[in-house]
Chains A and B, each alone.
Chain A
Amino acid sequence: MSLPKRIIKETERLVNDPAPGISAVPHDDNLRYFDVAITGPEGSPFEGGIFKLELFLPEEYPMSPPKVRFLTKIYHPNIDKLGRICLDILKEKWSPALQIRTVLLSVQALLSSPNPDDPLATDVAKHYKEDEKGAQNVSREWTRQYAS
């Protein structure tokens, strides 16, 4: 199965002109599988951390969204223990006009603005709702411990 031109174009741009704080490099043996690193946004509890993710482009891409998962442990109400991400554009709000770059920028934005009202990790969300300061401190601690 050959790689669609769109994926080649996207990869070229990701590698040659990366978005700030985001790197995505395809595997040599599988150009649909990317190693991603996102730096924690400034001013967020994740600042200073480098978070590793995996991104996979299914056969139906771009008609289906890419599959993205955090590999680095993270304390965030919308990201669960397995690294799965609760983000609308990765599910029902996906559009084929979106691309890897926009997805990763959205993930980065999610780190800046956690949304405990639409949680995936319920315990973390509860913590964020009841004691935001305390929860942010745990996030900072996890960032220091696992993402640096």
Chain B
Amino acid sequence: MVDLPRNIQDTDPEDFANELLRKVDNSLKCPICKAYFDAAMYSDCGHTFCAVCLRESLSMKQECPICRKPAKELSMKKNIMLEDTLILWQQARDTLLTLERLEAANASKKRKRSASIQSIESDSNEAGPSSRPASTTVKKMKKRAESTQKTGDSTMTECPMCQNLVVEAIINQHIDGGCNPENDKKITRDSQRAKVQWSSVFGKSASAKRKATPISLTVPPRGETEPGTLEKLPRGSYDILKDKDLRRMLKEEGLPTDGETEAMKSRHKQ
């Protein structure tokens, strides 16, 4: 076994035990840098990469790094939907990881304990057989969601994360919102509003449809998280520049000014 330097900006904690969740997680990472997409962009073929990674790759070879179809920097487009999905996934990820860990802990506890001592915890894990492999997390969560919806709005339950009593119907949103009681109030309000609006949606009222998106309220405003709004560096035509001008431009960007003309051009491009 090799010890890897742990200190190096390895921002995401350990991976999911569940293979499917691990695959979903990896599908939101750039095939070039293997980190979560940073300003996801794609070219004509549709394969998506970080803006910086794709641009750097296209500057060396004008083809898609995955399918090798011809691709040009000018045809790069933002993948807005994927960025939204990524933000939501990163919010849900911690919850899923915690649930996965709880699951594993519960499973090992239950193996040790006798059936009679199973009290509060097993109550909150409705209908869970005594030992359950970690791979069924998703199924179990669905079950839990179903059962909370069946019970009335006012049933209180203990949150597995913050141990506070929370209205059972909104426990999932409560955890997603980082166990913030302020959030809970909003969620309750939203869900009530949503119910009213959903009924009007089913009553074919088009105007209600637009308002009935309470879940998206938890998404941070786009401006904060979207690197795509950064101003694009101006790209000049290098061929009409003299070496002296090129050096000056490199200096302005804080880049080294030595080497051949071609090297300086490509350095400034990046």
Query: Quick check: A25 and B2 within 8 Å, CB to CB?
Result: yes
Q: With a 10 A CB-CB cut-off, give which of A2, A6, A26, A31 has the most chain B CB atoms.
A: A6
Contacting residues, chain A, for B10 (C-beta < 8 A)? 5, 8
Q: Which of B1, B9, B31, B35 contacts A97 (CB 8 A)?
A: B31
Complex Cα distance A19/B258, Å? 43
Contacting residues, chain B, for A95 (C-beta < 8 A)? 57, 61, 63, 65-66, 68
Complex Cα distance A10/B32, Å? 11
Q: Could you give, for residues 58-80 of chain B, a 1 whenever the CB lies within 8 Å of some chain A CB and a 0 otherwise?
A: 00110101101000000000000
Query: Quick check: B4 and A5 within 8 Å, CB to CB?
Result: no
Complex Cα distance A2/B68, Å? 30
Contacting residues, chain B, for A4 (C-beta < 8 A)? 33
Closest Cβ of chain A: how far from B61's Cβ, in Å? 8
Contacting residues, chain A, for B9 (C-beta < 8 A)? 2, 5
Query: Quick check: B4 and A6 within 8 Å, CB to CB?
Result: no
A12 within 8 A of B: yes
Contacting residues, chain B, for A25 (C-beta < 8 A)? 2
B234 within 8 A of A: no
Contacting residues, chain A, for B68 (C-beta < 8 A)? 95
Query: Quick check: A5 and B2 within 8 Å, CB to CB?
Result: no
Query: Quick check: B5 and A6 within 8 Å, CB to CB?
Result: no
A105 within 8 A of B: no
Q: Which of A6, A12, A31 contacts B33 (CB 8 A)?
A: A6
Interface residues on A, range: 10 to 19
Complex Cα distance A62/B56, Å? 10
Query: Quick check: A97 and B5 within 8 Å, CB to CB?
Result: no
Q: Could you give, for residues 1-25 of chain B, a 1 whenever the CB lies within 8 Å of some chain A CB and a 0 otherwise?
A: 1101100111000000000000000
Complex Cα distance A25/B172, Å? 43
A11 within 8 A of B: yes
Chain A residue at minimum C-beta to C-beta distance from B59: A63
For the A-B complex, the count of residue pairs with Cβ-Cβ distances under 8 Å equals 51
Interface residues on B, range: 20 to 34
Q: Could you give, for residues 34-63 of chain B, a 1 whenever the CB lies within 8 Å of some chain A CB and a 0 otherwise?
A: 110000000000000000010011001101
Query: Quick check: B35 and A63 within 8 Å, CB to CB?
Result: no
Closest Cβ of chain A: how far from B152's Cβ, in Å? 47
A15 within 8 A of B: yes
Q: Could you give, for residues 27-42 of chain A, a 1 whenever the CB lies within 8 Å of some chain B CB and a 0 otherwise?
A: 0000100000000000
Contacting residues, chain A, for B63 (C-beta < 8 A)? 95
Contacting residues, chain B, for A62 (C-beta < 8 A)? 32-33
Contacting residues, chain B, for A8 (C-beta < 8 A)? 4-5, 8, 10
Query: Quick check: B32 and A97 within 8 Å, CB to CB?
Result: yes
Chain A residue at minimum C-beta to C-beta distance from B61: A95
Complex Cα distance A43/B60, Å? 39
Complex Cα distance A5/B34, Å? 7
Contacting residues, chain B, for A10 (C-beta < 8 A)? 34
Query: Quick check: A12 and B65 within 8 Å, CB to CB?
Result: no
Query: Quick check: A5 and B33 within 8 Å, CB to CB?
Result: yes
Closest Cβ of chain A: how far from B231's Cβ, in Å? 25
Closest Cβ of chain B: how far from A111's Cβ, in Å? 25
Q: Which of B2, B4, B32, B35 contacts A96 (CB 8 A)?
A: B32
Starting from the known contacts A8-B8, A31-B4, 6 additional A-B residue pairs (CB-CB under 8 Å) come to: A6-B34, A9-B34, A63-B56, A95-B65, A96-B53, A97-B66
Between-chain CB contacts (< 8 Å), 14 pairs: A2-B9, A4-B33, A5-B8, A5-B35, A6-B32, A8-B8, A9-B34, A15-B1, A63-B60, A95-B57, A95-B61, A95-B65, A96-B32, A97-B31
